[in-house]
Chains A and B, each alone.
Chain A
């Protein structure tokens, strides 16, 4: 320590910290695979924060450990430490640097959010499916059901202005596929308004611009696909949306992320991302046979425990069919 100047040590430490931070930022392996166009944006941002965070973490922990070892009281040692009460330049430095970092992160997150489409929910230029529907008519239709159903329908009838909307490259364009997503204790019901299909799993084509109109029947749920890095609450009375392109063929979990009751943890299903041809095939098959909605991801035991009866399933089916344009 005596011979080597402190600046060399500081420099070496700085280089090591930087290298470790970059390595951690790129190789942490903490995120699941990326399957939507938003996923790389989010991950990239997370990696940057993880890199900066690792550096700060190492510096602070390093300082703590170093100081504790170096300045610990040895046996028999008396007296006080150095009477240093502050150091204005140093304090200015460690106020200014974090301030700059958070300003940078703040601006960058606006940019990321914009590229994700987060600034454009409700961008449905040519997409008029919801338009002709008046709230009153829906309520009248639903009058025989519970009022919550009416609320769900009402929500579906409005244009969502909350959620993740059109990303810059599809702004002002209608989505390729619209799916109505309804959360209920403890299942997701997916309705395809253009084909009348009702399903318990979400099927979408890869690379196509998909819009999910999200509503809830009873309590708040939250639609989350970890591989898409997208999540949006399904809120009774407030329509919301997610708009995205899936980028990778595969099957991914759909997870409910908002506490919705005892079986919240069992409220899982899947999204199946097909090739466009497979998707067409799926659509044909299901349009042909009148599908009963299935709630496949739940084990039979859960379905029993949760009290999801065939009647309930039928009721949901009847109700969700009101969404389809042919019936309006």
Chain B
């Protein structure tokens, strides 16, 4: 503690140090980053279940061509809130708020985040946002899609739409506060003995993510506030008959929301870079390439947003410029994929649940990335934009990518968070069901889109019925896949096998403290002597004590 380089590394402002938190501490304005991390994860998971139920309702409606299960307006409300909840209340808060908060201070050897109170505030903006979304169903629910393009959003269920806007502004604010915190924490609070090239890749990913969120989120907030004014206060920023322009909204929206897809995947890439080396028992292949490619994705990712608007009011030069910039993003993304695959080569791969989800991600993300390239080119996108091909694409990257990554992270760090192991048999069952369900649900959607089925429809051309039925069956498999997971989590949290401090033989710092870590993380601040991925490596440098046994 004495060698702390900055006043920022102050202990929490706790009058006395309790030994450990009680269960009810998790329901308070607690400032411990680990409590906040778990608060984020559990809250987000509850919203995942809610968003998932909406998805199952939609898929049930889509089992047949007619609109016979849900009222079409309710369908659109489910559609809108499913997308919104999955993005803003599940993937983003779970990946950034949950794993980010829990892991970053541990990984850099800090006692907490730089601004613990701000951190707690950022979390507590989320539950009211979720409550607003759910309450909006009393007013019909927002129905204009998670993109909420005007004029539809300014004339449909306007009270619910306003609540939706407020909810997004709340989570956006939370995300800005969180980002500032991560940047300062990583920049200033890593233990002095850790060199920048020993910073775990998850932290690099969080740094890139936070920078991106900081630049893009305010633009979304601005766009949405103008929309709120148009709906409620008689302004006409987006009203074509009063001099407004609806396309401006789309630019503001996508300037944020394309980067938002990286907010949903970069932290997951970070998780991948941690999980794979530990269980493959190999150094990560191409540390620098992975670290820099996050920064590259984040820079290029700011200049690709018009690929969502190829069929909208965009002039030809924009269509061409953004085709090319979009294709370029594929390169740093490919570098990451290849690096992870290469990390598997020559390893001693432990095929446990965490690793299976990581490998599952690897295999499905490839497909999502390849379909993304086709969507990035204007000529093909003109045909498949706003069709089920797009739905297939983004579920491969969001479900096959982000959600699989979150599961990998949960299986990997659950022992750290709770001190107990998850049951492997249930974990593998969960993986198998999820993998089959995901592909069954989303693979056939590529064909639907290419053949002519638009997205966001409650009723469709009967020729698409058989394929839709397959998708719906897949969705039910996915719904059931949650059950072994829930049982596993609840059972293991209480009576799972005791994990020990370092069940996986990990080298990054979070494994150097106890499981679960004590409040303030360390009895004595750790000293970094090895890189986080030095599996099988004996560095020759200083007189290192050879007898440090790094594996089981």
Tell me if A45 is interfacial: C-beta within 8 Å of chain B.
yes
B394 proximal to A (CB < 8 A): no
Chain B residues in 8 Å Cβ range of A87: 285, 342
In whole angstroms, what is the CA distance A198 to B396 when docked? 43
Q: Do residues A68 and B536 form an inter-chain contact, with CB atoms below 8 A? A: no
- In the assembled complex, how far is the CB of residue B143 from the closest CB belonging to chain A, in whole angstroms? 7
Q: Contacts A150-B241, A260-B152 hold; do A162 and B313 have CB atoms under 8 A apart?
A: yes
Q: A46-B380, A98-B334, A265-B459 are in contact. Are A80 and B282 (CB under 8 A)?
A: yes
Chain A residues with Cβ below 8 Å from B342 are 84, 87, 90
Contact B335–A255 (Cβ < 8 Å)? no
A226 pairs with B452, CB closer than 8 A:
yes
User: Please, how many angstroms separate the alpha-carbon atoms of A102 and B300 in the complex?
Assistant: 14
Tell me whether A84 and B285 are in contact (CB under 8 A).
yes
Contact partners of A110 in chain B: CB under 8 A: 320, 323-324
- Which of B286, B288, B363 gathers the greatest number of chain A CB atoms within 10 Å? B286
CB–CB A238/B323 < 8 A? no
Total CB contacts across the A-B interface at under 8 A: 299
B347 touches A46 (CB 8 A): no
Question: Is the beta-carbon distance between A71 and B151 smaller than 8 angstroms?
Answer: no
Q: Using Cβ atoms and an 8 Å threshold, which residues of chain B touch A60?
A: 337-338, 341, 362-363, 366
Contact A71 B280 (CB under 8 A): yes
Residue B498 lies at the interface, judged by CB distance under 8 Å to chain A? no
Contact flag A64-B359 (CB < 8 Å), given A80-B348, A231-B382: yes
Chain B residues whose C-beta falls within 8 Å of the C-beta of A253 in the assembled complex: 452, 461
How far is it, in angstroms, between the C-alpha of A230 and the C-alpha of B537 when the chains are bound? 57
CB contacts under 8 Å to B, within A77-111, are 77-87, 90-91, 94-95, 98-99, 102-103, 105-106, 109-110
Q: How far is the CA of A106 from the CA of B331 in the complex (A)?
A: 13
Is A49 in contact with chain B by the CB < 8 A criterion? yes
Flag if B327 contacts A121 (CB, 8 Å): no
Of the listed stretches A4-12, A167-175, A217-225, A315-323, name the one at the interface; the rest are far from the partner chain: A217-225
Using A81-B536, A98-B334, A257-B386 as known contacts, say yes or no to A68 and B281 having CB atoms under 8 A apart: no
CB-contact partner of A119 in B247, B316, B458, under 8 A? B316
B382 near A230 with CB under 8 A, answer: yes
Kindly list chain B residues whose C-beta atoms are within 8 Å of the C-beta of A71.
280, 344-349
Cα–Cα, bound, A266→B460 (Å):
7
| Complex CA distance for A151 and B545, rounded to whole angstroms | 78
Interchain nearest-CB distance for B417 vs A (Å): 25
The answer on a CB contact under 8 Å between B240 and A106 is no
Interface size on B, residues (CB 8 A): 99
B84 CB, nearest partner CB in chain A, Å? 14
Complex Cα–Cα for A50 and B380 (A): 11
Q: Which of B76, B240, B334, B382 contacts A94 (CB 8 A)?
A: B334
Distance in angstroms from A18 CB to nearest chain B CB is 17
Q: Which residue of B lies closest to A41 (CB)?
A: B379
Cα-based distance from A102 to B144 in the complex (angstroms): 34
Inter-chain contact B151/A49, CB cutoff 8 Å: no
- Taking CB atoms, residues of chain B closer than 8 Å to A233 are 311-313
Whether the Cβ atoms of A240 and B313 lie closer than 8 Å is: yes
- Closest residue of B by beta carbon distance from A151: B241
Check: A236 CB closer than 8 A to any chain B CB.
Answer: yes
Q: Which residues of A contact B460 (CB under 8 A)?
A: 265
Q: Which residues of chain A are within 8 angstroms of B534 by Cβ–Cβ distance?
A: 83
A218 touches B151 (CB 8 A): yes
Give Cα distance in the complex from A265 to B455, angstroms: 8
Residues B338 and A94 in contact, CB atoms below 8 Å apart: yes
Contact with A along B234-259 (1 / 0, CB 8 A): 00000011101111000000000000
A134 within 8 A of B: no
Tell whether, in the assembled complex, residue B373 and residue A73 are in contact, meaning their CB atoms are under 8 Å apart: no
Asked whether, in the complex, the Cβ of B327 is within 8 Å of the Cβ of A262, the reply is: no
Shortest distance from the beta carbon of B269 to any chain A beta carbon, whole Å: 16
A64/B345 contact (C-beta < 8 A), A98-B330, A219-B155 known: no
Stretch at the interface among B443-451, B471-479, B485-493: B443-451
Give the docked Cα–Cα distance between A49 and B375 (Å): 11
Give which listed residue, B76, B316, B385, contacts A113 with CB less than 8 A. Answer: B316
Q: Enumerate chain B residues within 8 angstroms of A200, measured Cβ to Cβ.
A: none
Contact of B373 among A63, A102, A150, A235 (CB under 8 A): A102
Identify whether the interface residues of A are mostly helix, strand, loop, or mixed: mixed
**How far apart are the CA atoms of A162 and B71 in the complex, in Å?**
35
The proximity string for B residues 205-249 relative to A, scoring 1 for CB distances below 8 Å and 0 otherwise, is 000000000000000000000000000000000001110111100
A118 to B315 alpha-carbon distance, docked (Å): 9
Given contacts A60-B341, A226-B383, A235-B247, are A105 and B378 in contact (CB under 8 A)? Answer: no
Q: Which of A162-213 contact B (CB under 8 A)?
A: 162, 164
- List the A side residues contacting B456 at CB < 8 Å: 259, 264-265
Inter-chain CA distance A57–B73, complex, in Å, is 39
Find chain B residues with CB under 8 A from A218 CB. Answer: 151, 155
> Which residue of chain A lies nearest to B288 when distances are taken between CB atoms in the complex?
A86
Is B319 within 8 A of A113, CB to CB?
yes
Does B551 interact with chain A (Cβ within 8 Å)? yes
The chain A residue with its CB closest to the CB of B365 is: A60
Q: Which residue of B lies closest to A268 (CB)?
A: B461
Within the complex, what minimum Cβ distance (angstroms) separates B525 from chain A? 27
Interface centre among A53, A61, A83, A116 (most CB of B within 10 A): A83
B142 to chain A, nearest CB (A): 12
Contacts of A220 in B (CB 8 A): 149, 151-152, 246, 312
Task: From A83, A164, A219, A237, give the contact of B382 (CB < 8 A).
Answer: A164
Residues of chain B touching chain A, judged by Cβ–Cβ distance below 8 Å, are: 67, 71-73, 75-76, 143-145, 149, 151-152, 155-156, 240-242, 244-247, 280-289, 311-316, 319-320, 323-324, 327-328, 330-331, 334-335, 337-339, 341-342, 344-351, 359, 362-363, 366-367, 370-371, 373-374, 377-380, 382-383, 385-387, 446-447, 450-452, 454-461, 533-537, 550-552
Binding site for B on A (CB under 8 A): 30-32, 41-42, 45-46, 49-50, 53, 56-57, 60-61, 63-64, 67-68, 71-73, 77-87, 90-91, 94-95, 98-99, 102-103, 105-106, 109-110, 112-113, 116, 118-121, 147-148, 150-151, 155, 161-162, 164, 218-220, 222, 224, 226-227, 229-233, 235-238, 240, 253, 255-266, 268, 302
29 contacts across the A-B interface (CB closer than 8 A): A30-B446, A45-B377, A57-B370, A61-B366, A64-B344, A64-B362, A67-B347, A78-B552, A80-B550, A81-B282, A82-B282, A85-B285, A85-B287, A86-B288, A102-B327, A102-B373, A113-B320, A113-B379, A118-B319, A119-B320, A229-B383, A237-B241, A253-B452, A257-B386, A259-B145, A261-B156, A264-B76, A265-B456, A265-B458
Not counting A81-B281, A262-B72, a sample of 9 additional A-B residue pairs whose C-beta atoms are within 8 angstroms of each other reads: A60-B362, A80-B281, A85-B285, A109-B320, A220-B151, A230-B383, A232-B311, A235-B246, A257-B387
- Please provide the 4 A-B residue pairs with the shortest distance between their CB atoms, ordered closest to farther: A237-B240, A265-B457, A80-B536, A226-B452
